Amino acid sequence: MTHSIHILEQNFKMYYSGVLFWDEQSMLIISDVHLGKVSHFRKYGAAVPQQAVQKNFDALNEVVDFFKPKSIVFLGDLFHSSLNSEWELFEHWVKGTSAKILLISGNHDIISPLKYEEMGIAVLPELIVASFLMTHHPEERDGLFNFSGHIHPAIRLTGLGRQSVRLPCFYKTHQQMILPAFGEFTGAYTLEPCEGCEVFALLGDAVLPVPIKEVKKRRSYRK
C-alpha cells in the first residue's frame, strides 16, 4: 500500500493512489487531480461515466483518512477548467477537511485565486520548505530537490512473450521526483529510465520499485 523513501534526511511514503506523504512535516502532496474534467467532457458529449466524478473525492477522502495530514499541497491542475458542477462538490470536501490546503498553480488552474482564497486555500506559484521545491512543472534548481507533476508519468514494462503494460509511476532522479496524476480520466505519458533514476510503479494497491536493467535516454518533458 505504501513504499517508504528517504530523501535529504527526510522520510516520505509513496501511496498506491499516487500521493506522497512527508512524515516530518505531516504534509500530503498530491498532483494533477483535474477535478471538473469528467463533467467538462460529459458536457460536450464524451461517454465518460458519471461515477468517475465521485471516485476522485472518494480517493481524496481515503488518503486523508489514512495519513491524517496537517497540510495538503496540490501540485497544480487541481481543477481542470472553468467552474462547473464539480466545484460545489469540491467546496463541500474542503469544508470537511481540517488540514491546511495550498495550491501550487498549474497550467489548467484558470479559476480565479479569489475563489480558492474564499475557502481558505492559498494559491502560490511555488513553495519552498527546507531544501525542497514544490512546483507544477518539473524544475531543476541548485541546492533544492524538486517535487512536481504535470507530466502524468508512466513506465512501460515488458514481460515474457513481449507482453507489455503501461503503469503510472513515481519517477525520481537525484534532483527531483515527478508524481503520477491522481485524478480519474487523466491519461499518462510514458517516460524512459534515465541514468541513476528510480521508478516506482503503481499496480493495484501496491507501489512497486522497478528494476532498471537498461539505461536509455530520457524523453523530453514536453507534453
Asked whether residue 158 is domain-assigned, the answer is: no
Domain with 53 in it: 2-148
Report the pLDDT value the prediction gives residue 218, as an integer from 0 to 100. 37
Q: How many structural domains are present in the chain?
A: 1
Asked whether residue 143 is domain-assigned, the answer is: yes
Of 3, 4, 30, nearest in space to 19 by CA: 30
Report the pLDDT value the prediction gives residue 194, as an integer from 0 to 100. 83
Report the pLDDT value the prediction gives residue 211, as an integer from 0 to 100. 87
Report the pLDDT value the prediction gives residue 37, as an integer from 0 to 100. 64
CATH number at residue 130: 3.60.21
Asked whether residue 175 is domain-assigned, the answer is: no
Q: What is the pLDDT along the chain (223 residues), one digit of tens a residue?
A: 999 999 999 999 999 999 999 999 999 999 999 897 655 454 545 545 566 678 889 999 999 999 999 999 999 999 877 677 889 899 999 999 999 999 999 998 989 999 999 999 999 999 999 999 999 999 999 999 999 999 999 999 877 667 789 999 999 999 999 999 998 667 789 998 888 899 999 999 999 999 876 434 334 444 4
Report the pLDDT value the prediction gives residue 86, as an integer from 0 to 100. 85
Asked whether residue 76 is domain-assigned, the answer is: yes
Report the pLDDT value the prediction gives residue 183, as an integer from 0 to 100. 80
Specify the pTM. 0.89
Report the pLDDT value the prediction gives residue 213, as an integer from 0 to 100. 64
Q: How far is the C-alpha of 17 from the C-alpha of 57, rounded, in Å?
A: 12
Give the DSSP per-residue string, 112-150. Answer: -HHHHHTTT-EEES-EEETTEEE-SS----TT-EEEE-S
**How is residue 143 written as a grid cell?**
541546492
Report the pLDDT value the prediction gives residue 48, as an integer from 0 to 100. 54
Asked whether residue 179 is domain-assigned, the answer is: no
Please state the separation of Cα 159 from the chain's center in Å: 27
The answer to whether 16 and 221 are in contact (CB under 8 A) is no
